[in-house]
Chain A
């Protein structure tokens, strides 16, 4: 009990840090009771506290708000100036289709945001998860709780994955609302020329959200691994973003096209398979396998580093 109260003292004494971790401090305070509670329940409570923290941080809320605004901006721009077809710009055909069916705004917005804005948001949350705690000195107090380092890391990753899903869902819902308000809605014309009812279209949007969230969760594993390597959160976040940009540059160099199937970024926008008839499960399945491979490799690196490192701050 003394260590726990020690943590409480340290946390409340740290000013901004106390503000940062009130929930965890409360969780820590009930730690002796948690021994009696079953392990999964304790784990869930830790996860709940992490998620609460993530979604209460002003920075994260601001990021989600920006993500929600972009689809609306795209929709308003398309509504005001017409699709790229009208001025013969020859842009991506997906934007042309938005003006005909509002549901396509979801696909258009996701295909734009998945390139950089969603990865940046995910990098901020996942890159901050361990390094941020180490940076403000709360990591060692977290480790005092009887959760164990492996479980703590699992909770951190689950938290990042939940944020990925939330961010993608926010984009999809905002785009869906904007699309339905600004443009006519109706049965969806697939890329293959077939038509499916509106409800089926919504189901397929759900599949896209899950696919993109899985892709983002793979990036979260990379960011988490980088986060365990440093005590400076900005370092982990920036190196993740740089990694994303470098990968994308590698992906567009025609001479290196052989590299593409191994690049994480190459698969992020691979969700167009749901718009085909029949759904191109092969390509998307391959994408999911790539995501899983990245998550396993970088997750294990994060684990090896985090469970073995000396936590001094």
Chain B
């Protein structure tokens, strides 16, 4: 083999190497471009100014918009069973992994939320007082009565995720109190738009939450992303945010829904479910009244009179088993279908198996710890839940 052909051969292999470099470059270019564009393009604002602007923006009508929201949860639930196999649109599946949600907002109570799964889709379409839930898996359309999208965010609560960036952000803003360190940066980019980022850090060391980051669009102050960081991990334990967003009115077809031929059509009244579960619903209401909270702010602990049996019964009835992440638990919207209940049961079983027995002056119990939330189930029939360390829970258990 001559020297020339050998060199020619080596040069030829430069082509695939270059091709791989180009592809790798294209993969890595997104963040790099974002970093280059991330020069402070927005005027500086203090936390107060930003909060005021944001509050104003949440009170005033939000501009029509559409976009894609990605929700990622890595809550560190111990021994989580294979919920991913239960379908991308199963509510319990939202507890782990990453999920995509498409959002169309047309103003005046017109909202469409779509949760795409592989070869399936769950849609919530609200147009004034016409609210439909469409599940392509079950070929079922549910008309939800008594929910008027014009009265605030009713229909959004009914969707399994129950958390658009707007809702989650409102909850976070409410919590911003004296026990929080608040910082603002103006160099963030979310969904390819310049954004302010509000960083909220709990002062109390007993909180499992390291910081909560809230990104607000630099122009419209619409919340674009919420990230919750746990003390134990560098990556966010929970994140929900737009990956793409446009502030142009979406097409009107998005907000009209007619049940397709051959689909099962059901009606359900929002709030009160069907009559069968009415009694159980009353019981759940009763339970809610008996919930006490110990402590304040980030380290508040909820105390519920619950035994293991009640817990399972309550969950199989569908009372928001998926909402134990501490975010938006106040707006817990249950899913109320049997599948969600089964998933929740499986999760509870796994959680109880991983529970560590603890004891103290207050008695004996078992504690479950995840990245963001700890739960203590005492033998005398109380359940303590909070985004705090197990020690803090035990302390709360001692205070009757």
Binding site for B on A (CB under 8 A): 92-94, 96-97, 100, 107, 111, 186-187, 189, 191-195, 254, 257, 269, 272, 275-278, 280, 282, 293, 296-297, 299-301, 303-304, 307-308
A sample of 11 inter-chain contacts (CB < 8 A) reads A93-B137, A93-B139, A94-B119, A111-B119, A189-B261, A191-B119, A193-B259, A194-B257, A282-B244, A300-B18, A308-B12
Whether B16 lies near A304 (C-beta < 8 A) is yes
Give every chain B residue within 8 A of A308 (Cβ-Cβ).
Answer: 5, 8-9, 12-13
Whether B137 lies near A280 (C-beta < 8 A) is no
When chains A and B are docked, how far (Å) is the Cα of A300 from the Cα of B244?
A: 33
When chains A and B are docked, how far (Å) is the Cα of A277 from the Cα of B102?
A: 11
Give every chain A residue within 8 A of B134 (Cβ-Cβ).
Answer: 192-193
Closest B residue to A100 using CB positions: B262
When chains A and B are docked, how far (Å) is the Cα of A51 from the Cα of B20?
A: 30
Least Cβ–Cβ distance between B188 and chain A, in angstroms: 22
When chains A and B are docked, how far (Å) is the Cα of A203 from the Cα of B189?
A: 38
- Of the candidates A93, A187, A297, the one having the most CB atoms from chain B within 10 angstroms of its own CB is A93
Among the listed B9, B19, B121, which residue makes an inter-chain contact with A300, where contact means beta carbons less than 8 Å apart?
B19
Whether B15 lies near A304 (C-beta < 8 A) is yes
Known: A100-B262, A191-B136. A300 touches B118 (CB 8 A): no
Give every chain A residue within 8 A of B244 (Cβ-Cβ).
Answer: 282
Whether A297 lies near B19 (C-beta < 8 A) is yes
- Of the candidates B26, B68, B136, B137, the one having the most CB atoms from chain A within 10 angstroms of its own CB is B136
Give every chain B residue within 8 A of A277 (Cβ-Cβ).
Answer: 253
Least Cβ–Cβ distance between A225 and chain B, in angstroms: 9
Whether A276 lies near B16 (C-beta < 8 A) is no
Whether B123 lies near A254 (C-beta < 8 A) is no
Whether A304 lies near B253 (C-beta < 8 A) is no
Closest B residue to A184 using CB positions: B262
Whether A195 lies near B260 (C-beta < 8 A) is yes
When chains A and B are docked, how far (Å) is the Cα of A97 from the Cα of B125?
A: 22
Whether A254 lies near B82 (C-beta < 8 A) is yes
Give every chain B residue within 8 A of A304 (Cβ-Cβ).
Answer: 12-13, 15-16
User: Quick one: CB contact mask for B91-114 with A, threshold 8 Å, 1 for yes?
Assistant: 000000110000000000000001
Least Cβ–Cβ distance between B76 and chain A, in angstroms: 14
Whether A303 lies near B120 (C-beta < 8 A) is no
Closest B residue to A111 using CB positions: B119
Give every chain B residue within 8 A of A280 (Cβ-Cβ).
Answer: 116
Q: For the complex, is B84 an interface residue (Cβ under 8 Å from A)?
A: yes
Give every chain A residue within 8 A of B121 (Cβ-Cβ).
Answer: 191-193, 276
Give every chain B residue within 8 A of A276 (Cβ-Cβ).
Answer: 114, 116, 121
Give every chain B residue within 8 A of A269 (Cβ-Cβ).
Answer: 118-119
Closest B residue to A309 using CB positions: B9
Among the listed B13, B98, B118, B141, which residue makes an inter-chain contact with A193, where contact means beta carbons less than 8 Å apart?
B141
Whether A257 lies near B97 (C-beta < 8 A) is yes
Known: A93-B120, A272-B118. A192 touches B136 (CB 8 A): yes
Among the listed A194, A254, A272, A296, which residue makes an inter-chain contact with B119, where contact means beta carbons less than 8 Å apart?
A272
Whether B257 lies near A301 (C-beta < 8 A) is no
Give every chain B residue within 8 A of A111 (Cβ-Cβ).
Answer: 119
User: Quick one: CB contact mask for B12-45 with A, threshold 8 Å, 1 for yes?
Assistant: 1101101110110010000000000000000000
Closest B residue to A290 using CB positions: B23
When chains A and B are docked, how far (Å) is the Cα of A93 from the Cα of B89?
A: 12
Interface size on B, residues (CB 8 A): 44
Q: For the complex, is B251 an interface residue (Cβ under 8 Å from A)?
A: yes
When chains A and B are docked, how far (Å) is the Cα of A278 from the Cα of B125?
A: 14
Give every chain A residue within 8 A of B12 (Cβ-Cβ).
Answer: 303-304, 307-308
Least Cβ–Cβ distance between A219 and chain B, in angstroms: 16
When chains A and B are docked, how far (Å) is the Cα of A167 from the Cα of B207?
A: 59
Least Cβ–Cβ distance between A108 and chain B, in angstroms: 9
Closest B residue to A195 using CB positions: B260
Q: For the complex, is B263 an interface residue (Cβ under 8 Å from A)?
A: yes
Give every chain A residue within 8 A of B116 (Cβ-Cβ).
Answer: 191, 272, 276, 280
Least Cβ–Cβ distance between B66 and chain A, in angstroms: 10
Give every chain B residue within 8 A of A100 (Cβ-Cβ).
Answer: 139, 262
Least Cβ–Cβ distance between A245 and chain B, in angstroms: 20
Known: A300-B19, A307-B12. A193 touches B97 (CB 8 A): no
When chains A and B are docked, how far (Å) is the Cα of A97 from the Cα of B134?
A: 15
Whether A192 lies near B114 (C-beta < 8 A) is yes
Closest B residue to A189 using CB positions: B260
Whether B20 lies near A297 (C-beta < 8 A) is yes
Among the listed A93, A254, A296, A299, which residue makes an inter-chain contact with B136, where contact means beta carbons less than 8 Å apart?
A93
- Of the candidates B98, B123, B141, B258, the one having the most CB atoms from chain A within 10 angstroms of its own CB is B123
Closest A residue to B125 using CB positions: A193
When chains A and B are docked, how far (Å) is the Cα of A92 from the Cα of B97?
A: 21
Least Cβ–Cβ distance between B385 and chain A, in angstroms: 27
Whether B257 lies near A193 (C-beta < 8 A) is yes
Least Cβ–Cβ distance between B298 and chain A, in angstroms: 30
Give every chain A residue within 8 A of B119 (Cβ-Cβ).
Answer: 92-94, 107, 111, 191, 269, 272, 275
3 closest cross-chain pairs (CB), A and B = A193-B134, A189-B260, A308-B9
Known: A191-B120, A304-B13, A307-B12. A97 touches B139 (CB 8 A): yes
Give every chain A residue within 8 A of B261 (Cβ-Cβ).
Answer: 186-187, 189, 195
Q: What would 7 more interface pairs be, CB under 8 Å, given A189-B262, A278-B254, A308-B5? A: A189-B260, A193-B263, A194-B253, A195-B261, A272-B118, A296-B22, A300-B19
Give every chain B residue within 8 A of A94 (Cβ-Cβ).
Answer: 119
Give every chain A residue within 8 A of B22 (Cβ-Cβ).
Answer: 296
Whether B123 lies near A301 (C-beta < 8 A) is no
